Amino acid sequence: MPEMKTKRVIMLSDVHLCHLNWFGMTSEQRLDKMIKELNEDYEKSPYDMVLFLGDYSLDFWVCAEGGSYLNPGHISNTANIIKKYFSQLPAPFYMLPGNHEQYAPETWKAIVGTDRYFTVPYGPYVFIMLDTFSGHLGPDFHSDGTYEPVKVDYVKKIMAENPGKKFFLCAHDFYVGQETQEFKDLLADPDILCLFAGHTHESRIFSLGAEFHNKCLVRTGNYAYSHAFEGQFASWGWRELICEDDQKRVKTEYLLPETKYIVKGEQRSHEAFRRDGIELRY
């Protein structure tokens, strides 16, 4: 990637190509819309890459209802979403597994091209991509994922290999109540700027509090379904990350495209807008 003072990254989570329909659209219609909008966004303001933080499918969930890798034929909607949709993106993309992608490590790498834990260097920054749903991989039965705490030794190793860099910790989710004291102590390092996660299908920013050295957890919303925002449907979208190293700051906002949708049989819509912004200085 070319060196530049201002860098732009897009983050998405929970897009769920599957057998279910939400808000009056099939999975195919919804993902066609998403890719079209991401390409239009690129035309307006190019981004360097897209980071997906998990849940591309329901590949190991309620397998008897369809759409699962566990069904006869082993259809992988994780593989299908790459081939049919992500391949249309105008910039490189990287994929973390979510709680619905419980593939054995070798199968995951064959589908996606990376390990379940990996890093994305980005100029003066490093995105450390953490697989926190790595318990009981490769199941032959219905699975909603098994959480495992962050591998702190892995994070420390990456940080030691990248002196002078700033770090973002990315996962499908961080179950802070299950994290170790070692992880909490790790967050005291000022070179860790913040944490990004999906899973809850919400766009939200909050401090983890003094126990976690007041680091922010930034949630990346969804492009599938949302219980939290069903009434007003301020949900489908993606998170923009603007890195301005010359200003020693990072800014992020949640971008929502113009959308028409159906909730409980009622047609609704909203214009494009932004929300949930924060600026981090270092």
Residue 241 lies in a domain: yes
pLDDT band at 230 (very low <50, low <70, confident <90, very high): low
pLDDT band at 65 (very low <50, low <70, confident <90, very high): confident
Residue 1 lies in a domain: no
Question: Is the overall model pTM greater than 0.75, yes or no?
Answer: yes
Residue 121 lies in a domain: yes
- Residue span of the structural domain in which 123 resides: 6-281
pLDDT band at 64 (very low <50, low <70, confident <90, very high): confident
Residue 35 lies in a domain: yes
Residue 72 lies in a domain: yes
Number of domains in the chain: 1
Residue 137 lies in a domain: yes
Q: Would residue 113 be called left, alpha or beta, if left means φ above 0 and alpha means ψ between -120 and 50 degrees?
A: left
- How big is the chain by its Cα radius of gyration, in Å? 18
Residue 75 lies in a domain: yes
The answer on pLDDT for 270 being more than 50 is yes
The answer on pLDDT for 6 being more than 90 is no
Residue 145 lies in a domain: yes
* Buried/exposed 167-196: b ≥16 CB within 10 Å, e otherwise: bbbbbbbbeeeebeeebbebbeeeebbbbb
The answer on pLDDT for 232 being more than 80 is no
Provide the CATH number for the domain around residue 268: 3.60.21.10
The answer on pLDDT for 165 being more than 60 is yes
